[in-house]
Chains A and B, each alone.
Chain A
Amino acid sequence: MRWSRSATVLSLLTACLFLPHIVDSADEKRISIYSTLANYTLPVVDRDGREYVGLLEILEPLGSVSSRIDSQRWKLRYKKIEAEFTVQKTRARIAGRETDMTAPFILENGRGLVPLSSLPTILPKFLGGPVTLRESGRRLFIGGVSTQVTVNLVKTTPARVLFNFSAPVNPTISTEPGHLRMAFTRDPVVASNTQWKFDDQSIPSATFTENNGAAEITVNSAASLMASFTAGGRTITVTNPPPLSAPTPPNTAARAGTTAPPPGSSAAAPPLVGGSPPSFAIVIDASHGGAERGAALTNDLAEKDVTLAFARVLRKELEARGIAVVMLRDSDSLLTVDQRAAMANARRSALYVNIHAASQGTGVRLYSASIPGGSGNRGAWIDWDTAQTSALPTSRDLVMGAASELQKRRIAVRILPAPLRPLNNIVSPAIAIELAPPSANVADVNSEPYQQPIAAAIAEFVATQKARLEAAR
């Protein structure tokens, strides 16, 4: 019984000892240190109403350092520089010279603590270079490591604010109604202004603040905002997303008629072939192109050439039935699957038709998307990888209908689901056509007499579905 009571008391005492640490950890004071060797953060402690930090911990990531206690004296050696601090004294000796600190030195459990405000005085004597302390934000810059940010407004529709950094950055971005916040904990970002005002109602202002070892840029807006990275992380573009809920691929901004090049690419995607967006249009996507040849159907015949040839025949058949067509490529150009999807989504196509060709088997194969279960949609934002989900039932119906039309014309056809990009990324109904040769002679797959009846059957079916597709939009 007595033993049990003692254990309870001991537990309570232990809890009392640890509770302040648990409570404090959420808003523990920290200092961020930026140098050419390492960027790191250290805890800051309050003693006698002043902020202190461990000197050995600051120097440790920068070079070999050791310390020893000699009675009331704390001796430190950093590389070849000797220093001596005395408990409760403001004067220290570093590299043989007297140095005054703003508050007394503290020795606590073997740790030598120096006042935060004295770091710009103490550290240059060890490091031999300039040290800048931004005390209010607790950010210490060793040498010229800071990353400057400049800001400018681009008056497009919608307006865009470009944050240009002198080095690549990787902030944590969060959004809430009216604000987009970029928190820089590892990046030594500094700004010459604390506030920017823009001559634009949609994005009126932005602020730069530093607090507890981190910098933060907050962009204010009446509407929701989105940020995208370009120039290898040196530029962050903040803009109001377009009202259209079509998804945009990672690091790709879809705009009417053009798409931004993917990361690492210097060339922008070519404009869509077909002029301004029609109210009702079928998007035809001849797969592959340029350096991406697709399957080698014969020694001389590449898949990219067959897909383009069939795309042109299909366009002719659709236009003959009064249906507007947008070709994603009408030449031997290379587009990524993300670019293809972004262009089709930007056009809000009534139907997306993806064309392929193969040497195996015979006849025509029609595909709808095969999407992993569940969608990652968040509110108005549609998950890129499962964007097809809501249109998939219509896509499957269209595949069935087109197959029936082909069968009526005695054209061999199969229907299957396929995990084939960019079908998954298209928000509108989307199908893929794979042309296989009519006979053992694979080259016949590229002959117009073979392609024309197939294109006519599909165009005829699409024409019968125009009202349905129009309503679905």
Chain B
Amino acid sequence: MISRQLVIGLIVMVAVVVIMGLYVGHMRHRVTDLQPTQTDSRPLTPPVSGPTESVTLYVAYDDPGTIRATTTKVPLSSARQQRAEQLLRALMAIYLDQASQHPLAAGSEVKSVYLVDPGVAVIDVNAAFADGHRSGILVEELTVASMIQTLSANIQGISRVKILIDGKTRDTLAGHIDLSSPYETSSVNQLVQQLQSGF
């Protein structure tokens, strides 16, 4: 013989479970509705305090396959290494913009720039940068040349630049341009001039 109190208790508990289930289902729908349709995969650039400086960025354009010097104001810190990172992140922001003439893959990021004396800079980009890069001699060359030229034109004393992907050496950027050896900035400077000449 089941007591009356026990029956009432069971009925109340079942009712609570049903109500909670309905509430959870309702909340799940609301969360789904609130989720954005597109995810902005652009990397977060750390905020930089201090005054802005006028710098020259060497920006690549796929059509007609050239690099153009663009003067812009960028907030830069006084530390040399941080300046190098901020410069390249400013360049990345241009390439990651939807209107970019030389788009890079979503999520491409300059992780760090190491300045090693005497005159060596090491640019470490993330895997998304290389994995999502378009494949081709010219398109890869434009990316590499614009980054190296931007760095060497704005940071004094850099003579060689090595590009790492996620801290490791890769043979090529996306199947063509060699990343196994460091680049000499003087050679890249000549290449940029040739790219700018259009022939």
Contact residues of A with B, CB < 8 Å? 288, 292, 294-296, 303, 337, 356, 358-361, 365, 367, 370, 372-373, 385, 414-421, 424, 432, 434
Name the B residues within 8 Å of A424 (CB-CB): 178
Name the A residues within 8 Å of B172 (CB-CB): 421
Name the B residues within 8 Å of A434 (CB-CB): 136-138
A-contacting 9-mer, from B114-122, B150-158, B179-187: B179-187
Give the bracket for the number of chain B residues in contact with chain A: 20 to 34
Give the residue of A292, A360, A385 whose beta carbon is less than 8 angstroms from that of B175.
A292
Give Cα distance in the complex from A358 to B62, angstroms: 12
Q: At the interface, yes or no: B55 with Cβ under 8 Å from chain A? A: no
Q: At the interface, yes or no: B105 with Cβ under 8 Å from chain A? A: no
Smallest CB gap from A359: residue in B: B136
Is A356 in contact with B137, judged by CB distance below 8 angstroms? yes
Name the A residues within 8 Å of B144 (CB-CB): 419
Give Cα distance in the complex from A224 to B174, angstroms: 40
Please provide the chain B residues from 38 to 89 with a CB less than 8 Å away from any CB of chain A in the complex.
62-65
Give Cα distance in the complex from A274 to B141, angstroms: 33
Is B187 in contact with A370, judged by CB distance below 8 angstroms? yes
Is A372 in contact with B187, judged by CB distance below 8 angstroms? yes
Is B137 in contact with A361, judged by CB distance below 8 angstroms? no
Q: At the interface, yes or no: B94 with Cβ under 8 Å from chain A? A: no
Is B181 in contact with A385, judged by CB distance below 8 angstroms? yes
Is A415 in contact with B199, judged by CB distance below 8 angstroms? yes
Is B63 in contact with A361, judged by CB distance below 8 angstroms? yes
Please provide the chain B residues from 113 to 148 with a CB less than 8 Å away from any CB of chain A in the complex.
134-139, 141, 144
Give A28 Cβ to nearest chain B Cβ, in Å.
Answer: 36
Contact residues of B with A, CB < 8 Å? 62-65, 134-139, 141, 144, 171-172, 174-178, 180-184, 186-187, 190-191, 194-195, 198-199
Is A361 in contact with B194, judged by CB distance below 8 angstroms? no
Known: A358-B135, A434-B136. A416 touches B178 (CB 8 A): no
Give B162 Cβ to nearest chain A Cβ, in Å.
Answer: 11
Is A356 in contact with B194, judged by CB distance below 8 angstroms? no
Is A373 in contact with B187, judged by CB distance below 8 angstroms? yes
Name the A residues within 8 Å of B64 (CB-CB): 361
Is B141 in contact with A294, judged by CB distance below 8 angstroms? no
Smallest CB gap from A374: residue in B: B184
Name the B residues within 8 Å of A417 (CB-CB): 187, 190-191, 194
Give B64 Cβ to nearest chain A Cβ, in Å.
Answer: 7
Is A420 in contact with B178, judged by CB distance below 8 angstroms? yes
Give Cα distance in the complex from A306 to B106, angstroms: 28
Is A419 in contact with B183, judged by CB distance below 8 angstroms? yes
Name the B residues within 8 Å of A292 (CB-CB): 175
Known: A294-B175, A360-B65, A361-B65. A416 touches B138 (CB 8 A): yes
